[in-house]
Each structure stands twice: as structure tokens, then as C-alpha cells.
Structure 1
Amino acid sequence: KLNHTTSETKSLHRSLAQAQERKAQLEDEILAYEERMKKLNMELKKLQGFQQQSELEVQAFDKKLEEMSNQVLRWQEQHQSDLRMLAAKE
């Protein structure tokens, strides 16, 4: 019976060692995963910042384009008015 108990104890010790080894391996994997998630979150925030900046630049460009279009319309209207005045003088 003593041999059986000794054998069982050795088996339990082996199982415990394997479980502890697996636990350490999983902890390492979790740390690596968490580090990767931190890096991905930083990249995501950077990309979101770039996207926001791009959107602001597009809005500014659209506003400038609208201002320029309005200026061209005013010039065209002025030109037409000038042509009508010249025609009226003749």
C-alpha cells in the first residue's frame, strides 16, 4: 500500500508541476496579448487622430472652395453688369 501511495504522490507532483508550467505559459501569453492590445489601441488612437485631422482639412478645403466659387460668381455678375453698361453706352 505504501508503494501505491508513493506512486500516487509522484503522479500528483508531476500533474502539479505540469499545471504550474501551463499556468506560467498562459500568464506569459496573457502578458504578450495585453502588450499587443496596448500597441493596437495606441495605433487606433493615432489613426483616429489622423482621420479627425483629415476631416477638418476637408471641411476647411470645402469652405475655401465655396468662398472661391462665390467670388467667381460675383466676378461673373460684375462682368455681365459691365458688359450691359458698355452696351447701353453704345
Structure 2
Amino acid sequence: MGVTCYPEWCQAPWLNGNHLPLPPQVHLDVILLAIWQIWEARNKLMFDQASSTASDILRQVINDMDSWSCRYKDNKNLLHTWRMYLAQLM
């Protein structure tokens, strides 16, 4: 899929991105969305022979964040900060 994975990332994936200057209040939610979309991309590759790029996965994470944003009434700005960070990675 063109994505580099380091063993330490797999041991505690919820810690990925902890060092970034991003709001910690929604960190776990964003990481879980990313893990879910990586799993979805894996399933598409295995069962549909459809590959995904890292940008495709990030785009889907951002779409999920937008879909779930109503859940974050008090933290919308924090979620938006993460959204902007992920968008710049594409």
C-alpha cells in the first residue's frame, strides 16, 4: 500500500502522534479513526483487490471526522485542528 510501518507503532498505536503539538483531548478518537480506515483499506486490498494510497486513507479519516463532528460540540475547535493537520499531510 506504500505506507511504512515501524514495529513500535504497532505495539501501542494509540500513542502515535503524542509528541505532536495537537490537542490531546481528541487524540485517541482521531487515532482510532485512522486505525479503522487502515483496516478498511486492508480489507479492500484483500477482498476487492483495490489498493489505497496513504492520501486515500487520510481523506477517509477526515471524512469520518466530519461525519462525527456533531459529537464534539465542546471540542469542535480541537477536532478542527487535527483535521487541518491531517489535511496538510495529503
TM-score range, shorter chain: under 0.3
More helix by share: 1
The TM-score, its normalising length taken from structure 1, stands at 0.28
Higher relative contact order (CA 8 A, sep 6+): 2
Who wins on radius of gyration, i.e. which is larger?
A: 1
The TM-score, its normalising length taken from structure 2, stands at 0.28
